[in-house]
Amino acid sequence: MPTKPNALPWLLVSVLVIALDQLSKWWALTALQPAGVPHPVIPGFLNWTLAFNTGAAFSFLAQGGGWQRWFFVGLAVVISVALMIWLARTARREWRTALPLAMVIGGALGNLIDRLHASQVTDFIQVYYRDWYYPTFNVADSGICVGAVLLILFGLRQPAPNKTS
């Protein structure tokens, strides 16, 4: 019985997310010094602001004393491997599953590179309105969030399976 091609080639999307993430972080590190100084892009809505995060989303566990670095490294590796196994078991044509998985993998590995290299994640995208500020984030975070949302949305809109007897 011949096997159908799996979705592992979708990992090229992961490579693209990682490349965009790392290039944008390099740009932020060179162009947005010193950290914490906003550079308005769309006044009243969007700044480029260099920031660093030793924790996870919303600075979760940022004050953990250093142990959290290895916790998040391990978590990124475990999640990425699990999602790659899921991709390997997904048919290549199932883009509604493959694309979001590849985006999440790319984002997880993009931030993993930062944690391994600098013990912190470089963030620089700051969205705000008046006195409300969304936590500063990066391209990898966007890949994770957009991928997760797409996975949920596509999962909710799955067509009913064909019932043939």
What residues does 93 pair with on adjacent strands?
none
The CA distances from residue 10 to 89, 126, 165, in Å, are: 12, 29, 33
Report helix, strand or coil for 94.
Answer: coil
Report helix, strand or coil for 91.
Answer: strand
Strands 121-129 and 132-133: antiparallel
Closest listed residue to residue 35, CA positions, set 136, 129, 144: 136
Tell me which residues are annotated as active site.
123, 141
